[in-house]
Structure formats: structure tokens, C-alpha cells
Amino acid sequence: MTEFQSSCYNIVTDPNLSPKQKSHLLALAAENNLPYVTLDSETEKALNERVICDMYEGHAPYKPRYVLPDYAKFLKQGSQWLELAPAKTFDDAINMLTIAYHHVPSVTGMPVYLGCLDQLLLPYIGNLNEDELYDRLKHFWIMLDRNLPDAFMHANIGPTDNIICRLLLRIDKELKQVAPNLTFIYDEQITPEALLSIAIGNICETAKPHIANNNMIKKDFDEKGYGVVSCYNSLPVAGGGSTLARINLKEVALRSKHIDDFLQNTLPYYCELQLNLIKARSEFLYEKSNFFSSSFLVKEGLIDANRFAPMFGIYAMAEAVNILQEKSSLAGRYGQDEDANELALTITKQLAEFVDSNTLKYAWKGKAMLHAQSGISSDRGTTPGLRIPYGHEPDPVNHIMALFKHHHYYNSGISDILTVDETIKNNQSALLQICKAAFQIGFREFTANISGNDLVRVTGYMVRLSDIAKYKQEGSRINTTFLGSEAADDTEGNSYLCRTPRVISHEQIMGNR
């Protein structure tokens, strides 16, 4: 057999994959048997050495990485392509969304964005009472997990206090499902503390929802708004993310002589190469794939080709800073030392300036969006995004203080995961105060894992530890369990299982107000 045939044979005979999972992997194998999009020799070399990375999106991108349809418009106008009349009732709306999700492409083969569900469904409540809504929404939530079992699938709720929002929080806490991932959009001027408190209570049981700082994020978008998708990526509604490339800052630092060489020579060089990669992949998507000329989502005005942004990702900031500190004979380490943290901020500012200074042909507002990429399961010896290495995290307050200055710059998403001791369940108000304080000083997003829970976040998506424990014996119906299992096998000290749970004390909160 050829190498390609052997790869396909291994997929079809894998005992831990379902037929649907095999079908998806076979399609990806076929795409990756095509020639890669045309690259210059230096960019190709950097990609082969994985100093820059294409996130394994495929050799010939034929759909955007992340698609965020305008579902409100879909419900109001119906769809000629799908032969659906406009929604009139709550049941109409639920049914139409269920149908639409199966026709929204993404890098995973499943939708990464389900819409801001409470805002979408509120106009269709009619005379339904709370019990009737609860039954419908619970069935809907179960359907999502069973039919679209992918932890990158993401629903949004908030920022207003309403019956749909409260019911979805209640249902998600009861079911403790992996999918869908969930973001609660919090706005201190709109969201009552009582509703935020419910969301915090959910986190203590399920690690969901992720909480987004609307006051900060909305400034980077227009009147159509944004959605939080996949792990924690903020992108334009009626558009999305066309492609995501990322720089391994650790590898850039290893190729640098010292801090000045990194900032003046190697980092600018690899930033240019990553931009070349983004341009090449975007040109194929827009000029050769025919996606934007053929998709009913475009023709019916549910997405706009001009509202897609390429994502300029980075990761391994911690390793890069520590390597550069060592090469410059400096003792401080990332997340622990003020000088090391200032070096990281200098790097972030330079990245932001580079992205902002380069105009792209195929990009929302003509620019890429800077992204702190949260890693992939096969990464070894690197820390996701700008996170502090696992096992070396300070207490939650100092953790936030070490990172908050970066959040302003990463307009398509940055997130850390605070791993908190399970005693927080008896003092949930402390976690609420930490969340509010983080937003007040400049955190874009707030996420926490609670030790002792089955549901945990890996990079940014959800897994069940019990599923991972069984995966190698019996597989999993949830697509992303494999990724969690692979990440857990990291033997270089960077597995999410190495996170150190921290206790939040009353003194920490009062001392940092």
C-alpha cells in the first residue's frame, strides 16, 4: 500500500473510532493528500520546522475555520435553500436552529457557534410557562450533546437577566454534559450580581460557563456584535475566523542570541513568515475554494465574506521568556518575577504593533486579529498561549495580576484557567469577587477549573476525566475525548493534570481590592 492508503487503512480499522469519526478523519486524510497551498521556501521551511504552525487545518482550505452565522436573521427570514419559513413559535425556532447547525461548516466538521441562545429565543416564548420552556430546552440541550458531540461547539448566553438564560444555566448544571461549551457574557452595567452568582455556582460544579467581559470585548467589534466560539475565541457575528496560524515563541527564542536579538531580528522575521502563511491560505480559500461564491449562508445574508478575520496566534510565551532570561543571564521567571513579566508584555506589544501595521486583502477591517492560542493536544514542552506553566501557578490573585496587562491586546481571545481547590464550593462568593476584580483591572475572559470535578477544561474546551480514563479501552462518542487523552499523556510536565489547585482566601481578596 502507498503511505496514503496505509494511513486510511489505519483509520478504518481503528477499534476506538465510530463510523462517523472515521468518516471525518478519512476526509481530512484526503484533503491532506493534496498539494499544499503555494508557499515561498522560507515560509515552507518555518512551517516544516513548526516554528510557525497551520493548526493542521488541511492542505487546501475549502471552508473557513470558524463560521458565526447571523442566526437571528435566519429565524426572522427563514431559508430558501433549506426550504424553511420564518419562525413563528418557540418550537419553530428550536427546530430551525437544529436544522441550521448541521449545515454550518467549521474546522471540526461541526458548528463551533450556536448563537447567543437566550437573545435568539426570547422573541418566540409566547405563552409558554417556565415548566414548558424547561422541558423544551432540556431536550434541545441533550440533542446538542448527542447529535453534535464536540466540545468546541459553543453557545453564548447573557448579558441580560432572563428566563432562557437562567433555565439554560440550570439545565447545564443538572446534565453536566461535555457539549455544548458555554460562555456567559457578563456586563457590569447590565448583568445583576445575582445572575453572575448563579453562573459562578455552575462553574463550581461543571467548569462552565466561561465568563466574558462584555464591556471590554465589545469595543473591538461593531454594531453586529461578536460571538465567543470554540475555546474562547471572540469573532464577528455574520462572519468568523477564516484561518488560524500560530507562532511557537519558544522556538523563536531558541533561535535568538539574546533578548535584543529576539525583539529586533528573529521575532520580526517569523512574524513575516506567519503573515505569508496566512495570506497563502486566505487566498486559496477566497480565490480557489469557491466557498464564498457558492454557500447558501452567503447568498441568504447569514454570513458576509468581508466579516472573516484571519487569526494571528502565538503560544509558549512562558518558555520564550524563560529562555531569553537565561540567555541574558537573568534569574527571573515568567509569572513569578516582575522583570520577566515586563519582558512578556514588551513581546505582546510588539506582536500587536506588527499585526496592526499590516493590511491584508482578505480580512475584516483589513487586519488579522491577535490571538493567544491555547495549544493543541500534541504540543510537548510548551505552555498554551500566555499561561503560566502548570504546577508553577501563584495564588489566584497574583496569577491574575501577572497577566491582566496582556488582555487588552489579544482581540480575538486570550484566556487563562485558574485551578481552584474544591473548598471554594463552600465559599462561592470569593470566586465571584475574584471574577469581578479581574474584569475591573482588565481581564478579557475568566475561566476556572475546580479540583475534584469530573468535568474540566483542557486548553479551553471541555472533557470528562471519566471519559478519558475509559478512552483507550472503548473509545468515546465525544469527538474531543481523544484530544483530552492525548494531552493527558504529556510526560514533560505540561499536562493539564499537572495544574496545582489553589485556595482563595478572604485575606487575598481584601488585600487586592
pLDDT at 499: 57
Q: Is 92 helix (H, G, I), strand (E, B) or coil?
A: helix
Give tens-digit pLDDT for 387-415.
Answer: 999 888 888 889 999 999 999 999 999 98
CB 206 within 8 A of CB 453: yes
Burial of 269: CB neighbours in 10 Å, binned 0-12, 13-18, 19+: middle
pLDDT at residue 321 is higher than 50: yes
Write down the mean pLDDT value for the chain: 93
pTM of the model: 0.94
Helices (H), 78-154: 90-101, 117-121, 130-147
pLDDT at 510: 44
| Parallel, antiparallel or unpaired: strands 448-450 and 445-446 | unpaired
Give tens-digit pLDDT for 35-48.
Answer: 999 999 999 999 99
CB 303 within 8 A of CB 239: yes
pLDDT at residue 505 is higher than 80: no
pLDDT at 513: 44
pLDDT at 512: 47
**Among 340, 350, 209, 196, which Cα is nearest to 266's?**
350
pLDDT at 498: 54
Burial of 172: CB neighbours in 10 Å, binned 0-12, 13-18, 19+: buried
What is the rounded end-to-end Cα distance, in angstroms, of the chain? 65
Distance CA 121, CA 430 (A): 32
Overall average pLDDT of the 291-296 stretch: 98
Ramachandran region, residue 316 (left: φ > 0; alpha: ψ -120 to 50; beta: rest) = left
Distance CA 178, CA 110 (A): 15
CA 327 to chain centre: 33
pLDDT at 349: 98
Overall average pLDDT of the 455-482 stretch: 78
**Among 362, 383, 227, which Cα is nearest to 306's?**
362
Residue that has been written with the C-alpha cell 481552584 in this structure: 420
Helix (H) or strand (E) holding 243: strand 239-248
Overall average pLDDT of the 322-341 stretch: 96
Distance CA 352, CA 286 (A): 25
Indicate the pLDDT class of residue 501, thresholds 50, 70 and 90. Answer: low
pLDDT at 463: 83
Residue that has been written with the C-alpha cell 532570561 in this structure: 325
Give tens-digit pLDDT for 298-309.
Answer: 999 999 999 999
3-state per-residue secondary structure call for 374-418: CCCCCCCCCCCCCCCCCCCCCCHHHHHHHHHHHHHHCCCCCCCCE
Give tens-digit pLDDT for 89-138.
Answer: 999 999 999 999 999 999 989 999 999 999 999 999 999 999 999 999 99
**Among 67, 115, 98, 97, which Cα is nearest to 303's?**
67
CA dihedral for 388, 392, 396, 399, sign (positive or negative): negative
pLDDT at 400: 94
| Parallel, antiparallel or unpaired: strands 233-236 and 66-68 | unpaired
Cell numbers that stand for 30 in this block: 484526503
Integer angstrom CA distances of residue 393 from 144, 344, 398, 402, 454: 35, 16, 9, 10, 21
Lowest mean pLDDT among 203-207, 211-215, 452-456, 469-473: 469-473
Q: Amino acid letter at 446?
A: F
Cell numbers that stand for 399 in this block: 496569577
pLDDT at 157: 98
Give tens-digit pLDDT for 216-262.
Answer: 999 999 999 999 999 899 999 999 999 999 999 999 999 999 999 99
Overall average pLDDT of the 479-503 stretch: 63
Q: Which residues contact 197 (CB under 8 A, 6 or more apart)?
A: 428, 429, 432
pLDDT at 168: 98
In eight-state DSSP terms, residue 84 is B
Indicate the pLDDT class of residue 369, thresholds 50, 70 and 90. Answer: very high
Largest CA distance in the chain: 70
Lowest mean pLDDT among 203-207, 227-231, 238-242, 462-466: 462-466
Distance CA 187, CA 124 (A): 24
pLDDT at residue 496 is higher than 80: no
CB 270 within 8 A of CB 347: no
CA gyration radius, the chain: 22
In eight-state DSSP terms, residue 290 is -
**Among 42, 47, 49, 52, which Cα is nearest to 315's?**
52
Order of strands, edge to edge, in the sheet holding 154-157?
113-116, 154-157, 181-186, 210-213, 445-446
In degrees and rounded to multiples of 5, residue 102 shows phi and psi of -75, -5
Give tens-digit pLDDT for 135-169.
Answer: 999 999 999 999 998 889 999 999 999 999 999 99
